[in-house]
Chains A and B, each alone.
Chain A
Amino acid sequence: MNDIAHHAPDLPAIAATADWPAAREAPPFWTTGAVAATVWLAGSAINYHWPDLSPWARTPLLAMAQGALGVLLLGAAIFGGRTRQVRYFHPAGRWLVALGALLTVWVVLTAKTALLPLPFFPPPQSILEVYTDDYARLLESLWYSAWLLVPGFVAGALAGFGAGVAIGWSRTVHYWGHPILRIVGPLPATAWLPVAFFFFPSANSASIFLIALSTGFPVAVLTASGISGVNSAYYDIARTLGANERFLIARIAIPAALPSVFVGLFMGLGASFAVLIVAEMMGVKAGLGFYLQWAQGWAAYANLYGVLILMALLFSGLISLLFLVRDRVLAWQKELVRW
């Protein structure tokens, strides 16, 4: 049934006709999903039955994982085409096909034929092996990195926000603070690395400081410009309504500047990743950056790619988290529905 035909008794004039086709319902069968399932199942079969040139321990596990995903997709395509949970994945359909195919091509070019030679082109099963066999060290590295990144970012964001509000609000603070921001701000925080390692008691504290610095500058600059860009009529109205200076800062200036503050936080977060990895490669003897450098030193390319993938997921996850917070805080910006 379709909606228009459903209401046909009320509206006989607009029944579904050839001139005015009825709105089509989503088909119960998810075609792209079925194609993706076929690709993943075929990839699994190829990986399992085509012997490796030199046997890889995790080939059966990878083949099983490919097969499991294929079965899952097949089930979704046949039975779940109409459910909301499956529809959620519909937009990803073509990506699922492409990824399944790409993984199989990668397996064939490396493990099966060695057309792409070792050690620079490790097969996916060897990267899987990194996760199954070296997960303890990876988790440890993740933990150490978090202990630098989180305190550094939070401290930098708070300090940058405070400095930005002060510079944006007060003429005196602007006079003294703005030139410093202008001159010192563009200096990459990593350039401070030798100085920081010299002045701070430990490589850890130096790294936290540098991460805070790299976060703080963009946050300060964008908070200040956000505050000084606030429509002056907002202040005039609030002042006539009886607002004192504290109210103006907390209830007018800061909320009005928040969209700009979030741009600063986004830029600061990106800069903090760079500083984190460089600091760990240069001085800190733990963390994802250190793991990366260790892997390079031992020509352990599978570990190298493994940790790169982990970093990509971690960093993009953190940025998504920031966007989630922003969308919550700035929900008023999205309410564009007009009555």
Chain B
Amino acid sequence: MVSAVTVPLTREAPSPVGIRAQIRGVSHHYPTPGGGLLHVLDDVTFTVEPGECVALLGPSGCGKSTLLRLLAGLEQPGRGKIGADGVRIVGPDPSRLLVFQDPTLYPWRTVRQNVGLGLEARGIADRARRVDEVLHLVGLDGFADAYPNQLSGGMAQRAALARVLVNDPRLLLLDEPLGKLDALTRMTMQAELLRLWQNAGFTTLLVTHDVEEALLLAQRVLVFTPRPARIAASFEVGLDYPRHRDDRHFVELRRRILEVVGHSDIL
């Protein structure tokens, strides 16, 4: 374990919105087509405090996405416990929502119908106003009646974000949500994610490959080893928002994280 940076961290009072996510000794594997087992997670333990934003950094295919699927309740861990506010997670719930790298919008539904899907699935009839609010929040006013294949990549990802935000999630699981966007859109969306998280107060787990993205958004960065994933290091970021890429502490943290990443043969 690498010790945290010495910059004092001023954590606010625990957010009433956010969930405390607990991962206790979790190991997980998948059967391979050849009949073997693919060991993806190895005895992973950490806790994300309510309202905290934690970035999970590690090589692709190391098992970070699996961790998010377990937290979303889409799968059960092979070993160990996954909990939300001290209660074991046994299935999906609209309070814990995932955004993938692909927007994965339903192409036969308009943006409005995509965003309203969660409310519709739960039988909430009065959707229009809430959907409009959230579309405004992500800057998609005027695109409510467009179909997904009429949207650019950035707009589609905003719609995907709106589709989860409309449900007032308490835990937001972001699986490389900006991975496929061009550099400029990415920077804009990073700022917007930050704004959304600061305003709404949900707990956030962000899986990313991008050290800078992790440092721009997260309060804590967990670096994982290649498969099977173990936590290689944990960094408290402790910088005020908005952060600047040329800040002295930022540069120092990036150097130290890349060092760990280099030691674990990631690059």
Contacts and interface: CB of A to CB of B under 8 A. Distances in A.
Contacts of A85: none
A234 B102 CA distance: 11
B167 A239 contact: no
A248 to B, nearest CB: 9
Interface string B111-130: 00000011011100000000
B107 interface: yes
A256 to B, nearest CB: 7
A240 B150 contact: no
Contact of B150 (A238, A242, A244, A339): A339
Interface string A250-282: 011001101000000000000000000000000
A244 B121 contact: yes
Contacts of A233: 100, 102, 104
B94 A240 contact: yes
A234 B106 contact: yes
Contacts of B109: 255, 332
Nearest to B98: A240
A338 B92 contact: no
B38 interface: no
Interface in A229-250: 231, 233-234, 236-244, 247
Nearest to A335: B147
| Residue of A252, A258, A330 with most chain B CB atoms under a 10 A cut-off | A252
B108 A237 contact: no
A336 B74 contact: no
Interface residues of B, number: 32
B170 interface: no
B98 A237 contact: yes
Contact of B147 (A239, A243, A244, A332): A332
A307 to B, nearest CB: 41
A337 interface: yes
Nearest to B74: A236
A335 B150 contact: yes
B180 to A, nearest CB: 14
A240 B117 CA distance: 11
B104 A237 contact: yes
Interface string A306-339: 0000000000000000000000001011011111
Nearest to A338: B150
Given A240-B73, A241-B163, A241-B167, A256 B121 contact: no
Contacts of A330: 108
Contact of A239 (B92, B146, B163): B92
Nearest to A244: B121
B153 to A, nearest CB: 11
Contacts of B196: none
A337 B92 contact: no
18 contacts: A233-B102, A240-B73, A240-B74, A240-B92, A240-B94, A240-B96, A240-B98, A241-B94, A242-B93, A243-B117, A247-B121, A251-B121, A252-B106, A255-B108, A256-B106, A332-B147, A335-B147, A339-B152
